Chain A
Amino acid sequence: MSSSVDPITLAVVRGALETAQREMTLTLEKTGRSSVFNLAHDYSNALFDHYPEMILQGQDIPIHLGSLIPAMKEVADYFGDDIHEGDVIYHNDPAYKGSHILDCCMYKPVFYQGELVFWTVCKGHLTDIGGPVPAGYNPDAKEIYAEGLRIPPVKLWEKGKRRDDVINLLLTNMRARRDQEGDLNAQYGACRVGERNLIALLDKYGVAEVKACIAELKNMADRQMRSLIAKVPDGEYYGSAVLEDAGHGFGDMEITSKVTIKGDSVHIEVQSPPQVPYFINSYEGNSMSGVYLGLMMFAQLPPPYNEGLYRAVTVDLGPKGTLCNAEEPAPHVNCTTTPMETLTDAVRKALEEAAPERVSASWGHASGINIAGIDPRTGEQYVTMVLASIISGAGATQVMDGWHACGPLCCFGALSSGDTELLEYSYPIIIRRYGLIPDSGGAGMYRGGSGTVWEVEPIDHEMTVVAFGEGRKIPTMGAAGATNQLLEPKLGRLVIQREDEETVYKANTIESVKAGERVANFNPGGGGYGNPFTRPPENVLEDYRNGLVSLDAARMEYGVEIDPVAMAINSEATAALRQQLSTHRV
C-alpha cells in the first residue's frame, strides 16, 4: 500500500459508491416510461468528483460511458463559476462531447456544506428528439441540423427551481411527449437517489477522508491498467476494419488504429476517411467510447471502473473533419453503433496483434429498426427504437462459444430486449418471431453466438420502419484463425413480406408497412475463435441437433459429416473431409 488512507475506510467508500450508482440504475429501470428505458435499459449512470473525474462507471452501456468522461468536463467548463446547489443541467449535443442527440444526459452537482463535491450523472436514450424522422434516425440528413433537437448544456433546474419554460421548450420539440417527460422525471429521480447516497457517505466520513479515498481508488485503477499494459511487449501494433457502405454511396471505408505500447502506457492513434454527409460520422466524445471499449475487451477487468483506468492511455482520433473525429455540420445519429463498432474492431485488432493471448472474437454489429405510427387503440402517436431488433451474437472467446443473443458490440450485453408481451402491450404490433438464426454464429473452434431475428406485423394501421446500422455485407470478425464459408446467414438484413412479394434490404431505408404485411429484421452472429476444423465433431453434432448449424454448414465450415437419420457423426468421412478441406484452403 502506497497511500495514506485507511484501507478499511477505503473499502467502505468503494462499497458506498457502488451502492449509490446501483440505486440510480434501479430507479431508472423501475420508473422509466419509454420501452427504451424500462425494457431495454438503454441508459447509463456514473458518479464524478469535483474535478470532475469519473469515480464510478456502472455496469451499463459501454458506448455511453466513455463519452461521459469528456462530456462532463465540457458541461462543467461551460458553466464555470455559475454552478449552484439545486442546479440540474441537461445536454445531448455532440459538439459538447455528447454521444448522439438521442442520448440525453442529466448532470446534478452535489453540494455539501456549500462545497461542490460530486456530480451524479444519468444518460439515457430518449425515443425521440424531434427532427423530420420519428425516433431520430434520418438517413437523408446531410447536416446535423436536419437530425433533431440539439441541446447544448442548459439548466433545467436552477438553484432548486424547475425551469418549466425550458423543459417545455424541449418537450414541445419531441414526439410522444408524455414518454419523454416520464423519462426526464426518471432521470431526475435517479440523480437525486445518487445524491442522497453520497450525502450520507459524506455525513459519515467527512469530505476530506472521502476525497482521499477516491483519489486512492483512481490510483488503484491506474496501477491495475498499467500492470496489464506493462506485460505487453513495447512496440507499434496496427489494426484495421472496414465499414461497409450501408446504402449511402460513399463506398466502403477503412478505419485503422495504431497502438503504441511503451512501458506501462499506451497511445492509440486512429485514422479514418473524411467525414461524409450521411449520419455515420462520430464526434469526439462518442469515438472515445469506441476506443475505450476496444481497450476493455483487451483488459477484461472486473468492476469497479473509474477514470484512473484511462490515465495510462492517450488517444489521437485523427484530424478534425474525419469520420471518427467529426465536426459541425456532420450528421451523426447512427454513430453510437456505426462507425463506433468498426472503430472498436480496429482497436481490438491492433491489441490482438499486441497480445494474442488475450484476444476474443468480435461481436455482431447493430443492424436494427425503429418503428413509429399512430396507435389505433388510442389515437396517440408512438415511436420507439426496437432494441430487440439489434440483439446480435457475442464473439467466441479463448475458452468458450459466444453467447447467443447478447450483443450488439457497442452494448456488450448491457441491453435488454424486453418481453414480447410487454412490447405488444405498449405498441400496436404482433411479434411473429423472436428467435435465433441458424448458421449465424461465426465458425471456429469455438463458435460465435447466434444472432436473432425479430419479425413483426402492424395491427390495424400503417407503420413506419426505419432501418439503420450495418453488418449486412461484411460478417463479424473472428479471431485466432476462425474462418467462415457460409456468409449469407451470418449477415444482417431486412426482409419485408408484402402480399406475395418478399423484398430483401441490405441498405438503410425508411419503409411503410401495412396491416397484414410483415417485417423481419435479421442481425449478425458473433465471430468464431480458432480453426473450425479443430472444433470437436460432437459439439458440431449438438449444434446440428439444436438447429443452430445446418448439415451444409457442418460440412463446409467445420468439415464434419453428420448422418441426420442416425443423428451421429460419420467419423471416417469427417477425418477425410477435414484433411481434404485443410489442404485445399492452405
Chain B
Amino acid sequence: MRNRYRLGIDAGGTFTDFVLAENNGSLRVFKSPSTPHDGTIAIKAGLAQISEAVQRPIEEIVQECDLCINGTTVALNALIEKKGVKVGLLCTEGHEDSLEIRLGHKEEGYRYEADFPPAHMIAPRHLRRPIRERVTGTGDVNIPLHEQDIRDAVSYFKEQEVESVAISFVWAVRNPAHEKRAKEIVQEMMPGVFVCTGSEVYPQVREYTRTSTTVVNAYLSPVMARYVQKIDDYFQSLGAKSPVRYFQSNGGLAIGEAMRGRAVNAINSGPASAPQAGLFVGQPFDINNVITVDMGGTSFDITLTKDGQTNLNKNIDFLRYRIGVPMIQVETLGAGGGSICHVDEYGMLNVGPESAGANPGPVCYGKGGTRPTVTDANLVLGYLNPKAVLGGTIHLDRDAAIQAVKEHVADPLGISVEKAAYGISTIVNLNMVNGIRRVSIERGYDPRDFALLCAGGAAGMHITALAEEIGSRTVLVPKVSSVFCAFGQIISDVRYNYLASEPMRLDDHANLEALNKKFDELETQGREHLISDGFSNSQISCSRSVEMRYVGQIHECNVEIHPGEITREKIASVLDDFHKRHEELYTYSEPHNPVELVNIESTMVGNVEKPEFMQVAQRGSTAADALVEYRPALFDDDGHWTDTPVYSGPELDVGVTIDGPAVVEEPTTNIVVRPGWQLVLEPNNCYRLTRIN
C-alpha cells in the first residue's frame, strides 16, 4: 500500500460495514446502522467511530488513505422500491412493445396461479415512442432516420416531464449511427437530462435484452449520479487524495464518473465482492476453486469461482427486469436464520422463503415471534449457546423454541421434536444445496472440486453439513466473515467489461483480421479509460472471452481465450475448448458440426495493490484452554444426543486442532464441527476445516 490506510465502506440493508486496513497489517472493523434514505448519514456515523478508535481526526485518516471504497445499494433499493426517475424510451417503429411483451413468457412456478401480476413497466406504453428508422442484421440502413419523429417524441417527453431518456433501436449493435444521432437531438432539446443508448450500455445482439437493460439504466442512473455526487463531494471536503471508488456487480471497482451513467452496472454489487474475498482467504492454501456462501438473517447468497475465474451472468431476469450486462452470478435464496418453518397443505415440511426478519425474529428471541425459524431449530439442536449470542447481548429462550418446533412441525408431522429440529436443518441444507447446484452443476462444474467459504452470521452452523452434502472436503471460515463484503472490496481491482458483437463462422474463411481489430479497439478504449483513472500501463491487465455456439444454436457457451493476436492455430484450440465445455455442460458435443462466434468481451483490469495483513502469532496454549463447556447436541436424525465440547473462538490458539463433534463460538457466529471434521485456526486468522473421514 502506498499510503497508510485503505478504507472500505459497504452499505448493506441493515448495517453499513467499515473496514480500515493499515499498512502495518492491522485490520479494524466497524458497523453502523444503515440509513437508506441518505447513505451519507451512516457513513458519517461510521467515520466518527473510526476517528474515535484511531484517536485521530477523520480528515487525517481519509487524507492518508490510498483508496476509499464504497459498495452501495442505492441502485438496488431504487429498483426494488420502484423509486427511479421517469423514463421515456425511443425505439424503432413497430418495436415499442418488446419491453412489455417480455418474449411472451410468464415466469416459472406460477403457471396456473390467477393472481400473479404482470411485471412492472418502468416506461409505460405512452412513454415508449416509435421512431421511423431501421438497420438490418448486416448493419445496413433499411429505413433512414426520421429526425422529426425524434423531435415530436421529445416534445411529448418534455410535456410529460420525463427525467431520463433511453434510446434503443433494432440492430443498433451492428450500426449505432441512428442511436448516436437521436442522442444528439435529445441532448439538444432536453439539455441536462440523462440519456443513454443501447449500443453504449449493452452492445450485444438481442434487442429485448438490450432495450430492457438500457431502460433500467436510464431509470437508475440519475439516482446513482445524485448519490455519487454527494459522496464524492463529502470525501473531497475531507481532503481525499483520489476519487472514491464504487463497487460494481461485475466484482470490480469503478470511479464515480463511470458510475453516474451506468447505474445498471451496480444493481447487485452487494454480494459481488465475495468471490474476491474468497480467493484472497484461500490463497495461502493454494485454493483457486471456491464456492462462497453467505447466510444472514433472511437470505443466502452463493457464488462460484473456478481456477480464479468467477461465474458471470448475462441476459438474466433480475427482480423481473431483463438485464444483459455481466454480473457476478449470485444465487440468492430465501434461506436465513430467520426463515420460517411450516407444514404445508400437502403435509410437507417447508422452510422459508418467508422470514421472521429481525422483528419479531425467531421465537427464541422472545420478541413476539411464534413460528419456529431455522435459528430456533439450531438452538434446539444445541448448536447455539442460549446464554451467549452476539457477544452475550441476547439471551435465547430454548424452551420456547422447543415448544414452537413441537407445535408447528413435530406434532403435525407426527414425529419427535429432535427429529423435527434436525429435519428443519436438513431441509434448509437441501435448499442451499440446490442453490449450489445452480452455480456449479448447471454450469458444468463438479462441486466436489471446490472449497466452501463461509460468511455471514448464520452459515457456520450449516457449513460442515453442506460440505458433506456437496462432497467438498475443505471449508474456510475467516474471522472477518461478518464484514466479508467490505473486506472483499478493499482487496478488489478496478474492472471494466468491454463488449461487442462480431458474428462469424469459425471455419477456414473466418475473418480473423476483423476479430483482431475489434479486440484491439475494445482494449485500446479500455486502456485509455484506465489510464485516465490514474493507472499506469504496467498496472493494467486484460482478459478475453468469446461466446460460441454450434451454428443454429441460440445460447452460447463462454470460452476464455488468451490476449494477443488471434491466429488459425489459436482458433483450433479455442474450438477444442468449446467442444469440451459443451460436453461438460450438456453431456454431448458435435465436433463435426460448424461453430460460430457471436459476442466478444475484453475485461480490462486496473490492478490495485493489495494490503498486507498481519499473521496471527502462536501463543502456545492448548485446546483445553479455550474449552467453555460441554453441551448436548444432535448430529443425526436418530435422536441421539452427543455431549459436545464448546470452545471460545477468541481464546483458541493458532495451529491447535479440534476434532468434531465440537462447536466453536465467535462473537458474531458459531461454527458447528460435525463428526468426521477437523478444525484449525490458521495464521491468516481463518478457520480451516477438513474432512478427515
Contact = CB atoms under 8 A, between A and B. Distances in A.
Interface of A: 1, 6-8, 10-12, 14-15, 19, 23, 26-27, 29-35, 38-39, 41, 59, 62, 178-179, 182, 185-186, 188-189, 192-193, 196, 220-221, 223-224, 296-297, 299-303, 360, 387-388, 391, 394, 397-400, 403-407, 412-422, 424-426, 430-436, 452, 455, 459, 545-548
B208 A185 contact: no
B423 interface: yes
B95 A435 contact: yes
Interface residues of B, number: 74
Interface in B344-367: 345-350
B637 A8 contact: yes
Given A11-B427, A417-B104, A452-B97, 20 more contacts: A6-B637, A7-B347, A30-B586, A31-B586, A34-B552, A300-B113, A303-B111, A391-B104, A394-B106, A399-B115, A404-B101, A405-B97, A407-B104, A414-B106, A420-B170, A426-B552, A430-B134, A430-B136, A435-B97, A436-B125
A62 B111 contact: yes
B415 interface: yes
Contacts of A415: 104-105
A41 to B, nearest CB: 8
Given A31-B586, A419-B206, A403 B106 contact: yes
A109 to B, nearest CB: 17
Interface in B62-117: 93-98, 100-106, 108-115, 117
Interface stretch (B285-293, B484-492, B587-595, B666-674): B587-595
Interface stretch (B46-54, B325-333, B434-442, B612-620): B434-442
A423 to B, nearest CB: 10
Given A182-B590, A301-B112, A399-B115, A547 B423 contact: no
A412 B551 CA distance: 30
A17 to B, nearest CB: 12
A32 to B, nearest CB: 7
A400 B114 CA distance: 8
A26 B102 CA distance: 19
A431 B92 CA distance: 11
A302 B430 CA distance: 20
A459 B138 CA distance: 12
Contacts of B111: 59, 62, 296, 303, 412-414
A421 B170 contact: yes
B319 interface: no
Contacts of A14: 348
Given A419-B206, A421-B205, A455-B94, A546 B124 contact: yes
B142 interface: yes
Contacts of B590: 182, 185
B484 to A, nearest CB: 28
A128 B93 CA distance: 33
B413 interface: yes
Contacts of B142: 430
B426 A12 contact: yes
A7 to B, nearest CB: 5
B550 interface: yes
A434 B415 contact: no
Contact of B97 (A39, A299, A436): A436
Contacts of B207: 419-421
Contacts of B33: none
Nearest to A7: B413
B283 interface: no
Given A23-B442, A192-B587, A406-B104, A419 B109 contact: no
B431 to A, nearest CB: 8
A8 B97 contact: no
List the 6 closest A-B pairs by CB distance, nearest first: A413-B106, A433-B94, A391-B104, A546-B125, A8-B423, A417-B104
B647 interface: no
Contacts of B96: 435
